[in-house]
Structure 1
Amino acid sequence: MNFTIRQATAFDAEAASHLVIGLAHYFLADPASAQAAPFMAGLSPSAHAERPRSSQFKHYVAEDAAGLCGVVALRDGSHVYHLFVRVDAQGRGIARALWLHAKQRSSQSTFTVNASLHAVPVYERLGFVAVAGPKRLHGVAFVPMVYAHE
């Protein structure tokens, strides 16, 4: 599968939001619940449009022939805020490529992520290790993980 990675722009917001919200069932028990509302608000097109303009985030997208196929966002240069790949494009190295792209452009050597339970094996393959057991916040079940350069 051929894909390219580039810096995200506000023009990617609608597609990025659609991609991530389409995967919400993997990390939220009930995306429509009141408990998940603040988290879901952060996935809206307007929230996705703001991140590429914010100095707090580095945001990249992957595109293939069908359009946007993956997103990665680092917050404060060291926290993996988002790493999502379209379902039909999973298993083709896009998550790894996005992660490496973002990591190489960061000046940090240690990274954190709150990995959804579904994504823990993916992050383990990328070199992250769990630093605590599963947690739950705002309707999201996650495992805190860390990556440190050797």
Structure 2
Amino acid sequence: MKITINAIQGEDANAIERLMREVSEADVLPHFSQLGKDTYLNEILPEVTQVMCNANFVGAKALLNGELIGFALLRDGNYLTHLFVAKSAQGKGVGRQLLDTVLTSTSAAQVSLCSSLNAASFYTALGFQATGQEAQKNGIRFIPMKLDRT
């Protein structure tokens, strides 16, 4: 499988939203209350495509035969806001490649994130540690995590 990693561009917005919706419906939304599902679909999902080319964000996309199969967004050099990989490409190192790519853009000693419940083991395998118990905000369940890079 020949994966290409490139910077996210504005024209990637529709493909990113589709990928996020597909993966979320299968893996993320089942863990949320109805309030969480509504918040995610009406606020979080549309916000991603609005901020992905903002100067505060570094974004990387993974392509297979020209098709988007994953993306990652790092905000302010120290907060991973999103990392999504298509179901068909999970478990093949795409997530690690995307994470490594956005992390090369920062010298931050620590990177934090709020992991969806289904992704916590992925982040743990990459060296992240939980910084607290499972939490919830507006019905969205997550686990706060950090990666010490010193």
Corresponding residue of 1:88: 88
**In the TM superposition, what are the counterparts of 1:34-53 in structure 2 within 5 Å?**
34-40=35-41, 41-44=43-46, 47-53=47-53
Corresponding residue of 1:120: 120
In structure 1, C-alpha distance between the alignment counterparts of 2:101 and 2:73, rounded to whole Å: 11
In structure 2, C-alpha distance between the alignment counterparts of 1:126 and 1:132, rounded to whole Å: 18
Give TM-score, length-normalised by structure 1: 0.89
% identical equivalent positions: 27
Corresponding residue of 2:111: 111
Aligned residues: 148
Give TM-score, length-normalised by structure 2: 0.89
- 3-state SS of paired residue (2:29): coil
Shift, 1:142, TM fit: 0.8
In structure 2, C-alpha distance between the alignment counterparts of 1:29 and 1:138, rounded to whole Å: 15
In structure 2, C-alpha distance between the alignment counterparts of 1:32 and 1:126, rounded to whole Å: 28
Structure 2: runs of 5+ lacking an equivalent: none
Amino acid at match of 1:65: N
Contact 1:14 1:48 in 2 (8 A): no
Amino acid at match of 2:77: G
Task: Report the structure, 1 or 2, having the larger helix content.
Answer: 2
In structure 2, C-alpha distance between the alignment counterparts of 1:74 and 1:130, rounded to whole Å: 18
Corresponding residue of 1:6: 6
Structure 1: runs of 5+ lacking an equivalent: none
Cα RMSD over matched residues?
1.9
